[in-house]
Structures are given as C-alpha cells and as structure tokens.
Chain A
C-alpha cells in the first residue's frame, strides 16, 4: 500500500493500466520512487525535495461566465482545445525536467476550471498519459475532474472514467430553479441528478457535489432542501460554499449599486448552522470550513493545499508551490489562455510564469497556520516545527493566548485547531497570523 492518506479513499487505479503493456512497464519503472515516498508521510524530507506532489491542471473555458464567479475562466462558444492541450503538455514536459518535480510521482491530480468537462475525454487521457510517463502517477492516486451537469452525457462520462479519472466533482450549486437562475447556471436540477446517475453507472466511485448557499432570495428552508436533495443523490463528499461577492464579478457590482442584497452576516450564520446540522445528520463530517465528507472520502488533492504541501499547477493562471534550493517558492502563470499558450508554445525561457515569491520566516509560518487551521483537525505542533524550524509558541505565543482566551482556538494533545466558534470566525483568527 502506498502513502494513501488515512482520510482519503483508496481509489481504483487507472483502468488503462490493465491490458496496456507499455503503461504497465512505466508503472513498474516508477515503483522504487513510489516506495521511497512511504518513509515520509508529509510528502517532503528535510532537504526540501519531495517524495510526491499534487498536480493541478487548469482548463479556463466555460460556455457562460456565472455572475458570481471570479475564477480565471472565460466564456467561449468554441475553444482551441488542441492548442491549449499542446501548451499543457509542453509546460508539463519542461517542469518534469526541474527539481523538485523531476522523478517525483503525483499522488493526486485535479482538473479544475473553468469547465474541464468541456474537453474531450481523449484530451484528458492525453494529459494523464503524459503525466504518468513524465512523473508517474502513484497507484491509487485520486484523479478528480470538475464537471458542469449541463456538459456531460453518458459517452463523455464513460470516456473520462476510461481515461483514468476516478473522482467526479459535480457543480450542482442548487436544486431550486429560482436559485439556479439567480446564479446564472445553464443547467437544471434534473440534469444534475442525471449526471450523478450516469457518473455512478460509468464507474466513478468518488463523487462530490458543490453547493452554494446564502444566495439572495434564498430562505433557510431553501438551503435545507438543497442539502437534502444533494444528500439524496448519495455523494461521498459535499462542498458547501457560502456565496461570496467577489470584487470584479457581476454580483459585486450589482451589490455595490444596491440591486442585489446579500443576506446579513447573521442570516449567513443561520444558513451555515443549518448546512452543518443537515450534513452531520447524514454522517458527513465537516473536516474543512466548507467541506464535508463521508468517513474515508476527504478530498486528498485539496488536503495538499490546506496542509501547505507541494503542488504543481499547469495551465493559464495556475499557481504552484514547492521547495527550491532549500527554500520554498511559489509562482503563478499568465492568466490569459491565449498568452499562456503563446508563451509556452513559443518556448519562453520561464514558460508562462508571471510572478513568484519566496515565503519564509514568519510569513511562511503564518501561511502554514492559516491554511492548516481551515481543517477541523488543525495541525500538529511537530509538523509546524518541521516546516518552519521554530516552535509555534515562540512565534505566536501572544496571538495564540488571546485566541485561546477568546474561545476561538484550542491547543491540546500536541495539536492546534479552531473551536466550533473559531470555525465560524476563522478569518478573524487567520488575520492574527498574517
């Protein structure tokens, strides 16, 4: 057995591995590296090289831009799939020559967007094949793809599953027509139900449903009904996001001009309480601020972000984080898909990188804290020390004491975590560590 996270599921390997001799051969060739990874459950060693990492692939295209969405996505009627695919493969090839990714297997893959389900299964398969040959994909790796219910049919889902995707994240958002309309979604609740049914039939063992609540016009009952509808589809994982009015979105300008009124913070708190209760009663554990899972079904890829573990992001606007020469480096790519393709395909020396930073000292420590504290289990004091070289108490004693005093933080049994109330006021806590 590999370095599988206790929390995460054990997933079937890519089906292509059976029956495909070359892939088998590649898989065996990787075995020694994968075995080494087992020595360090955190996925890194003291020299800062890593034994495995999370690989993210960004597909920036959508059929329509949702009015609340501020992700790096672009509404298009047609998209340059081959060109973008070529750029992704090109970027991947170059990264695979660099430390720390060189010779290191991916333990999770995530296709996010945008709407990755717009891409043909063959394109996804090409990316997975290349990742497997360049880095190696660990046996049992979690391979997730985000799908818009309006963009999948049986053939596509079967194709994606065959390509090796083993976890589908379905953007349900709501089951109530009025809410879906406010959110500008181009699908209805039936399409969501159908997508889930087809996904199960196609062999996806792990299934996530995304929900958005605190949408203008929603009542507490509406929120509860949405959660129940979602639970009725028997997902393994639910992400329930309180709607945020992000600067730059249509919703934000509507709010600024008074044409859209977000629910008050107190009502949002009521909604959140209702979501928590509903999901808890159906045996979903709230393991992160907005994420709920059945036992053993936590999203392993996202756990890497929250634990500040290394990840490589490919594609327009993607962010990456990993050790480099004894320090930590974070960088990000050009956001425009066209300019991204131009840079990578044009052979630019720094690929499509447009920015980087080298977090260190108190800054790195603060990030570690505010990312890990999103998790219900928080972090171990030992892990903090291993990452930062300092003790948590030395660095943050006064902040921690104040927060413990205020009933927001708990330090016990070698771990630091938020209390129930701390989870609801997490930003107030996090702001103390930046």
Chain B
C-alpha cells in the first residue's frame, strides 16, 4: 500500500503555488439543491465536463455519486466537495467549490453544516414536474444561512416542460425571485455556461481575512484505516498550512496537519488552504469522534478565542438491540461495531444481554434511517445476519430510592413498585407546510400527543407550525406520515426540550406464554390497548406457521390485553422427488434450512428478523 505523497499530484497542473493560497475574490462556494430525479447528478456531470475537470475518456454518468467512498492513492476518499476551475467571460479564472449535501431529516445537522460552508446554492427544479417537497426544506435551510439562491429550471428539452409555470411555482411556493431563473437542459448540455456565469456573477465571494487567526469549519469527516480521521473543511478565516499544529475547539484535541488536499475531482495534495477554500485535512487524529462535524479547527499556537457558531453535540435519539442471528457471531458483531463507530461518531453502543436473544449490543442512532443504514452496512460490509429489536427512545425513571435512571431498553424498566415516575423526552417540532394540508397535519400532531406552541402564515400559501411532542411519537414514522398527508410538501425539524412525566406503561409480548423481552415497549397508558392489539395482529402475520399452535399475547403487567393464534402448519411437502435429480431436491431443502437459519429460535418458536421490528410496522 503506497502512502500518499504530499505535494501536488504530478499529473495535475498546479495553479495554486506550492504554499500560496487562492485569492478569495476568485472563489465561489456553492451547493446544488434538488428533488431526487430533478437532475442534480446530471447537472454536476455537465459542470465537471465544461470545466474540464474530467475528460471524455474517464467520463461515466453520475460521476460524483460513483466516487462515494472509493480509495484513491491510498486514502479512502469521499468527494463531498469538488474544486473546479472555470475561465469566465470576464477573462478571469475562478475556483468553484461544489459542495454536496445528504438528504434526510436524520441528517439535517450535516446538511446545515454543508450549507454553512457555502455562499450560494443552485436550486434545480424539473420543468415538467415543478417544485417538489424534498426541495422545500433545504431551500428554507439555505435561506436561513443567508445563501444566494439561483433557481435553475432543468429538463426544458422535455415535451412536457413548462418553464413559465415552474417560474411561477418557484415564486409562489418558495417566495424566491424567479425572474432571473436559468432555463437549462443538463441532459443536452444547454445553458450550462450560463449557470457557471451566474455562479461567478451572483454568488458572493467569501470574505478574505488571511491574516486572522485560523478558523475552519468541519462539515464532513470519515475514517481511513491508515490516516485516521479525515475531515472536509471550509476555511473561514486565517490559513491552514501543512505541518502546523491545530486544535479542535469543541473536542479540545490537538494534532499536526500531515496532509491537506482537495478533489478536482481527483485527489490533489496542497500545502495550504486560505480563506474561503474548501478541502480535506488529515491531522493525525485517530477517531472520527474527535473530528466532529460542526467543530472548528484553529491553530494550536495562536488559537481563535471563539468557535464558529452552530456546533451541536449530536445525541442519539433512537436505541435498539443488535444481536447476531447466529450466537457464535457475537465476536464478529463486536468487531464490526467497533469499526462502524470509528467511522460514525453519532453511533453509541454498549454490550447487553437478552433472555430471548442472548448476547448483543444496545446501540443509539440519530434516527430510524440512520439505524437502517447502520444495519445494512453491518450486514453487507461485514456479512453479518442481525436481529434488530424494536427501536425505542430513552426514558428517565425516578425510583422510590430517589435515583434517576436512564432506560434505553424497555425490558430494563424497573418493577412498577420501584418506579415513582417515568419521564419521556419531549421535543419542539417545527413543520413547514403548504396551507392546504394544514388541517390534516394538525390532526396528526394532536393524535401524537402534541401541544401547539405556534402557528404562523409565512405567505397565504405557506404555514409554519411548532408543536411540543413526545419524541417517541415522532421518531418512528411521523416524518413519513407528514409527507404522505401533505403529498410530500411538509418538512420537519425537531430539537430536544426536556423530560416530562406521563402515564407510561410497559407493554410486553408473550409467545406461548413466554415473555419476549426484545419485543417489549413503553407506551402511553391510553394507547396500550390499541398498540397491543395491532402488535399481536402484526406478529400473527409476520411469524410463519410453526409445527404447533403459537399464541401471541400482549400484556401490561399481568393483564393480557390482546391475543392472537398462529395455527400450526398443516402441510409442507414437495410432491415430487425429481426422479434421479437428488441435487435439486437437496438445494430446495438447503434453501429452506437457510431460511430457518435466518430466524431466531426463542423457546420452541422460530421468529423471523422482521418480527422484531413489528412495532414499527403497526401503522402501515
């Protein structure tokens, strides 16, 4: 394995002198906001082509997407920002940094940090589809950060394109001036030059304070087995140089800058990054947890007195048990989780045991999508077969002994006699939505035990509502519900407020009389009956018929509140033996056996992985 050589890549021209930085007046930092399928990747491809960043020979569709987490010259790269050179009509060569953003409420914080690294954004809207929901939330976020937004109406080559209507929509739904919106076809390459001219002409250059004390914003970080934590940064003021000692203001960690670089989109090492420049930094810091998104890098010798605004310590919101389907794979799971946590500072985990599932881990995630991504990576990258238990929020329990316990596993809720109060986390949820869907959205907020704190019309078509709600009511499927109720146009953001006591009870599930701890949940007393019934029905559908009858019960304490029966399997036999073709019969049986292996045997009952997530699916 060749270690990356510091210094400019031999093949690439080096317009930035060895130690010189780019003049801020020639830098433009921007991102692209678009609904899925509206042409973000295609527009990025055209921009890369037009600026000569990639030549025809290496071109492939969706170039940037395809570069996610590849290795180049010994470093795991993640091209979250690409540096492009563009010779504008005014004769000047500009340096454009195209910053990519993730797109889900679980990662709202990462999106906000990426936007904070920019001065402008291209808003891409499909001329035949018009403004779509996913766009709306990010436009508001971009406006909050004071970004210059340039509307770009794409796909004007389509017969169904309606540029004027799209222009009106952008004005009415987003409150943006669409008078100067650009009409382009990324597919055909029409109008791309105009887009780049608009970026140069309308996006303000970053402020230039090269002699100020260094402050650089980390807006992405990842783990490389050889380099440790690698961060993508935007230098706000001062200059980041190779060899200098730096300090991270939030975590207090210090290190020496061992490498600086950028992606063009190919990796290029540089000696320094000046104000407004975007690039990556390796500072000999091992864990991603010590190089957090939103943190500020400053010089260790002459540190800036204040960090950049906006850093948040991300707290896991959702907890679930992770167990290997095969008990022998516990060690493999532990190793895989250690690696995953090195890469993702927002996952927390610790060992736990379950009477039903054996040895495993309790892990905390930012949200449900985050959890699903982690599960998928563990299964795909590490070849594990996992049981993930019903996710839950963390409760605070006051005991008779005057203690205060955090309970992130419902099965660990102390005996009712010992509990004085169960408190649940409340959040302030902010929802942007079109006024036409207000009734439906208010309805679901009330149903989820929300208390309205604000309702304000932004225009006659757009409303903002704020509700205080139990976190447990929104982390699982609230976002999906909101989207379906508003045909996708509502956006959601939420922040933690406090813990509040409520009439919360533990809902247990029993299979053939045996309680299954991994299926327990904590619910509001008034909802226990309904949840219990729905859960039993869902489990009846998810657990395959066994060789004997299985009763499914939901209980609060000793009281059974719902019950279903899964009747015993009556027939499972293949009529034919396929003559002499024994291999075929054997393969069928092996497949059946493999299916059994993916189930968890609890007592005599075989439970499929999906059943442990039944709690999530009872609203579907």
Residues of B within 8 A of A289 (CB): 573, 575, 577
Chain A residues near B (Cβ < 8 Å) = 56, 112, 241-244, 265-266, 268-269, 272, 289-290, 305-306, 311, 313, 318-321, 330, 332, 357, 367, 370-371, 374, 406, 408, 423-428, 430-434
Residues of B within 8 A of A430 (CB): 589
Q: B588: nearest residue on chain A (CB-CB)?
A: A427
Given contacts A265-B569, A427-B589, contact A305 B580 (CB under 8 A): yes
> What is the number of residues of chain B that contact chain A, defined by CB distance less than 8 Å?
25
* B309 within 8 Å of A (CB atoms): no
Are the C-beta atoms of A311 and B580 separated by less than 8 Å?
A: yes
Contact of A408 among B547, B575, B576 (CB under 8 A): B547
What are 18 A-B interface contacts by the 8 Å CB criterion? Answer: A56-B580, A265-B571, A266-B571, A290-B576, A305-B582, A306-B577, A319-B579, A321-B580, A330-B583, A357-B583, A370-B586, A371-B577, A406-B547, A424-B572, A425-B572, A426-B573, A430-B589, A431-B592
A289 and B583 alpha carbons, distance in the complex (Å): 19
Q: B587: nearest residue on chain A (CB-CB)?
A: A434
Are the C-beta atoms of A268 and B571 separated by less than 8 Å?
A: yes
Given contacts A305-B579, A332-B581, A374-B577, contact A367 B571 (CB under 8 A): no
Are the C-beta atoms of B572 and A371 separated by less than 8 Å?
A: no
Are the C-beta atoms of B582 and A269 separated by less than 8 Å?
A: no
Are the C-beta atoms of A272 and B586 separated by less than 8 Å?
A: no
A428 and B575 alpha carbons, distance in the complex (Å): 13
A349 and B119 alpha carbons, distance in the complex (Å): 74
* B377 within 8 Å of A (CB atoms): no
Given A289-B573, A289-B577, 14 new contacts (CB under 8 A): A305-B577, A319-B582, A319-B583, A321-B580, A330-B582, A332-B581, A367-B582, A406-B548, A425-B571, A426-B572, A427-B572, A428-B592, A431-B589, A433-B589
Q: B585: nearest residue on chain A (CB-CB)?
A: A370
> Measured between C-beta atoms, what is the minimum distance from B617 to chain A in Å?
22
A290 and B578 alpha carbons, distance in the complex (Å): 12
Are the C-beta atoms of A425 and B569 separated by less than 8 Å?
A: yes
Tell me the interface secondary structure of chain B in the complex: loop
> Measured between C-beta atoms, what is the minimum distance from A275 to chain B in Å?
11
Q: A422: nearest residue on chain B (CB-CB)?
A: B573
Are the C-beta atoms of B585 and A320 separated by less than 8 Å?
A: no
> Measured between C-beta atoms, what is the minimum distance from A289 to chain B in Å?
6
Q: Mark B583-610, 1 if CB is under 8 A from A, else 0.
A: 1011011101100100000000000000
* B570 within 8 Å of A (CB atoms): yes
A367 and B596 alpha carbons, distance in the complex (Å): 19
> Measured between C-beta atoms, what is the minimum distance from A156 to chain B in Å?
24
> Measured between C-beta atoms, what is the minimum distance from B212 to chain A in Å?
66
Q: B569: nearest residue on chain A (CB-CB)?
A: A425
Are the C-beta atoms of B596 and A319 separated by less than 8 Å?
A: no
Given contacts A370-B585, A408-B547, A434-B589, contact A423 B573 (CB under 8 A): yes
A423 and B547 alpha carbons, distance in the complex (Å): 13
Instruction: Tell which of A272, A289, A311, A434 has the most Cβ of chain B within 10 Å.
Output: A434
* B620 within 8 Å of A (CB atoms): no
Are the C-beta atoms of B573 and A367 separated by less than 8 Å?
A: no
> Measured between C-beta atoms, what is the minimum distance from A222 to chain B in Å?
17
> Measured between C-beta atoms, what is the minimum distance from A293 to chain B in Å?
16
Given contacts A112-B579, A306-B577, A374-B577, contact A269 B570 (CB under 8 A): yes
Contact of A424 among B573, B581, B582 (CB under 8 A): B573
A426 and B579 alpha carbons, distance in the complex (Å): 17
* B180 within 8 Å of A (CB atoms): no
A61 and B575 alpha carbons, distance in the complex (Å): 23
Given contacts A406-B547, A406-B548, contact A244 B583 (CB under 8 A): no
Are the C-beta atoms of B577 and A427 separated by less than 8 Å?
A: no
A408 and B583 alpha carbons, distance in the complex (Å): 24
> Measured between C-beta atoms, what is the minimum distance from A265 to chain B in Å?
5
> Measured between C-beta atoms, what is the minimum distance from A209 to chain B in Å?
15
Q: A433: nearest residue on chain B (CB-CB)?
A: B589
Are the C-beta atoms of B589 and A370 separated by less than 8 Å?
A: yes
Are the C-beta atoms of B575 and A367 separated by less than 8 Å?
A: no
Tell me the interface secondary structure of chain A in the complex: mixed
Residues of B within 8 A of A427 (CB): 572-574, 588-589, 592
Instruction: Identify the 3 closest CB pairs spanning chains A and B, nearest first.
Output: A269-B571, A319-B580, A269-B570
> Measured between C-beta atoms, what is the minimum distance from A86 to chain B in Å?
23
Q: A423: nearest residue on chain B (CB-CB)?
A: B573
A321 and B586 alpha carbons, distance in the complex (Å): 15
A320 and B569 alpha carbons, distance in the complex (Å): 35
Are the C-beta atoms of A318 and B572 separated by less than 8 Å?
A: no
Residues of B within 8 A of A290 (CB): 575-576
> Measured between C-beta atoms, what is the minimum distance from A318 to chain B in Å?
7
> Measured between C-beta atoms, what is the minimum distance from A377 to chain B in Å?
16
Given contacts A425-B569, A425-B571, A426-B573, contact A313 B580 (CB under 8 A): yes
Instruction: Tell which of B575, B580, B596 has the most Cβ of chain A within 10 Å.
Output: B580
Residues of B within 8 A of A244 (CB): 574-576
Q: A418: nearest residue on chain B (CB-CB)?
A: B573
Q: A308: nearest residue on chain B (CB-CB)?
A: B582
> Measured between C-beta atoms, what is the minimum distance from B566 to chain A in Å?
13
Are the C-beta atoms of A424 and B589 separated by less than 8 Å?
A: no
Residues of A within 8 A of B590 (CB): 431, 434
Are the C-beta atoms of A318 and B580 separated by less than 8 Å?
A: yes
Residues of B within 8 A of A428 (CB): 547, 569, 572, 592
Q: Mark B130-168, 1 if CB is under 8 A from A, else 0.
A: 000000000000000000000000000000000000000
A113 and B582 alpha carbons, distance in the complex (Å): 17
Residues of A within 8 A of B586 (CB): 367, 370, 434
Q: Mark B515-554, 1 if CB is under 8 A from A, else 0.
A: 0000000000000000000000000000001011000000
A43 and B344 alpha carbons, distance in the complex (Å): 65
A6 and B574 alpha carbons, distance in the complex (Å): 27
Are the C-beta atoms of A434 and B593 separated by less than 8 Å?
A: yes
> Measured between C-beta atoms, what is the minimum distance from B225 to chain A in Å?
39
> Measured between C-beta atoms, what is the minimum distance from A158 to chain B in Å?
28
Are the C-beta atoms of A56 and B579 separated by less than 8 Å?
A: yes
Q: B604: nearest residue on chain A (CB-CB)?
A: A406
Q: A70: nearest residue on chain B (CB-CB)?
A: B578
Residues of A within 8 A of B572 (CB): 265, 424-428
Are the C-beta atoms of A241 and B577 separated by less than 8 Å?
A: no
Q: B584: nearest residue on chain A (CB-CB)?
A: A319
Residues of B within 8 A of A370 (CB): 585-586, 589
Instruction: Tell which of B548, B573, B585, B592 has the most Cβ of chain A within 10 Å.
Output: B573
> Measured between C-beta atoms, what is the minimum distance from A180 to chain B in Å?
18
> Measured between C-beta atoms, what is the minimum distance from B326 to chain A in Å?
17
Residues of B within 8 A of A433 (CB): 589
Residues of B within 8 A of A431 (CB): 589-590, 592-593, 596
A432 and B593 alpha carbons, distance in the complex (Å): 7
> Measured between C-beta atoms, what is the minimum distance from A358 to chain B in Å?
12
Residues of A within 8 A of B582 (CB): 305, 319, 321, 330, 367, 371
Q: Mark B389-410, 1 if CB is under 8 A from A, else 0.
A: 0000000000000000000000
Residues of B within 8 A of A321 (CB): 580, 582
> Measured between C-beta atoms, what is the minimum distance from B327 to chain A in Å?
16
Instruction: Tell which of B569, B575, B589, B590 has the most Cβ of chain A within 10 Å.
Output: B575
Instruction: Tell which of B571, B583, B586 has the most Cβ of chain A within 10 Å.
Output: B571
> Measured between C-beta atoms, what is the minimum distance from A270 to chain B in Å?
9
A123 and B575 alpha carbons, distance in the complex (Å): 32
> Measured between C-beta atoms, what is the minimum distance from A176 to chain B in Å?
19
Are the C-beta atoms of A272 and B571 separated by less than 8 Å?
A: yes
Q: B547: nearest residue on chain A (CB-CB)?
A: A406
A374 and B585 alpha carbons, distance in the complex (Å): 12
A269 and B593 alpha carbons, distance in the complex (Å): 22
A217 and B16 alpha carbons, distance in the complex (Å): 77
> Measured between C-beta atoms, what is the minimum distance from A419 to chain B in Å?
12
Residues of B within 8 A of A424 (CB): 570-573
Are the C-beta atoms of B592 and A241 separated by less than 8 Å?
A: no
Residues of A within 8 A of B569 (CB): 265, 425, 428
A112 and B571 alpha carbons, distance in the complex (Å): 28
A433 and B582 alpha carbons, distance in the complex (Å): 14
A242 and B570 alpha carbons, distance in the complex (Å): 14
